[in-house]
Amino acid sequence: MTTRVAAIQMCSGTDPRRNAETMERLVRDAAARGALYIQTPEMTGALQRDRATLLANLRDEENDIIVRKAAELSRSLSIFVHIGSTAIAAGDGKIANRGFLFGPDGKMICRYDKIHMFDVDLDNGESWRESATYRPGAEARVADLPFGKLGFAICYDVRFPHLFRTEAMAGAQILTVPAAFTKQTGEAHWEVLLRARAIENGAFLIAAAQAGQHEDGRVTYGHSMIVDPWGKVLAAAGGTGEAVVVADIDVGMSAAIRAKIPNLKNGRDFALDIVPELAKGGVTV
């Protein structure tokens, strides 16, 4: 069964209401192109580096403008809307970087909290400590949808292949990586990581991204894309500005690729032996 899917590329600012309006416009555009499943980027609601301002605009799920708008759009358009993530009050003084999936009836199918925190110091001077603000998730998620089983991840999660392997082993034929990748890391690693996760798991991969210069000063890489289980990029956006990326997928291709290269079945448990360092001067045989 062929299904049309879409990734929408945004340049979210600091105002959740404006971002909700942009999201609605792009989701409606994608739906008009025939997309049944539509994914938005990480931090759809706002990219805001100032913690105090972020907290001031924070809401719980029931009152979050992005969550409510996604439920409304999925119901009114009879589509699946996947909010890649938005900031949600976690109730313990921290924030959840949380993704949501809504079905055509407007009801939430599942939620996913980003597991791996982006705590890095880049050589261009950028420093990020996501764990200082966000509470990490602890559960991988796979949703069984009419057009295939969908596995969840968010941005930095893409660097942890065991997450995707766990989801693929649980039956996921479609993997997702909504993101707000930095420009420096994106130029070096974005496409190769996405294609690698698709290839090694024999799965489609859909990645909606933030793109361009944001109001809070950061620059994101963009290049939202949809990749097939052979690693072919089916559709991709550029590095700046809004975009709607659309492709037709059939999870039957995932089954065919996994039958051709059955690495999910061929994996084996193994022990690890750390060989002691050789003594100086070599060894005597």
CA distance 175 to 137: 17
- Tell me how long the chain is: 285
Is the pTM higher than 0.85? The answer reads yes
Is 278 part of any domain?
A: no
110 is catalytic: no
Instruction: Tell me how far apart the alpha carbons of residues 83 and 42 are, in angstroms, rounded to a whole number.
Output: 8
pLDDT of residue 282: 60
How many C-beta neighbours within 10 Å does residue 70 have?
A: 27
Of the candidates 210, 228, 110, which has an alpha carbon nearest to the alpha carbon of residue 173?
A: 228
Answer whether residue 83 shows pLDDT above 80. yes
Q: Kindly state whether residue 8 falls inside one of the protein's structural domains.
A: yes
What confidence tier does 188 reach under pLDDT thresholds 50, 70, 90?
very high
Strands 37-39 and 3-9: parallel
CATH of residue 224's domain is: 3.60.110.10
Catalytic annotation, pick one of 42, 149, 167, 183: 42
Considering the candidates 114, 149, 167, 183, report the single residue annotated as catalytic: 114
Kindly give the interhelix angle for 161-169 and 183-201, rounded to the nearest 10 degrees.
Answer: 30
User: What token pair was written down for 10?
Assistant: 């945004």
Q: How confident is the model at residue 92 (pLDDT cuts 50, 70, 90)?
A: confident
- Give yes or no: 11 in active site: no
Active site (annotated) includes residue 114: yes
Q: Which long-range contacts (CB under 8 A, 24 or more apart) does 61-68 make?
A: 61/88, 61/98, 61/100, 61/111, 64/88, 65/16, 65/17, 65/20, 66/16, 66/19, 66/20, 66/23, 67/100
Instruction: Determine the pLDDT at residue 125.
Output: 61
Residue 153 pLDDT class (50, 70, 90 cuts): very high
* pLDDT of residue 131 exceeding 80: no
Is position 217 within any domain?
Answer: yes
At residue 126, the pLDDT reads 63
Question: How much is the average pLDDT of 207-219?
Answer: 94
198 in any annotated domain? yes
Mean pLDDT of 103-118: 95
Flag whether 284 is in a domain. Answer: no
The answer to whether residue 282 sits within a structural domain is: no
Residue 10's pLDDT is 98
Residue 280 above 80 pLDDT?
A: no
Band of pLDDT at residue 93, cut at 50, 70 and 90: confident
Domain of 244? 3-266
Domain count, the chain: 1
Residue 63 lies in a domain: yes
Give domain status of residue 276, yes or no. no
Candidate list 11, 69, 149, 155, residue with the active-site label: 155
| 183-201: average pLDDT | 97
Asked whether the beta carbons of 215 and 246 are under 8 A apart, the reply is no
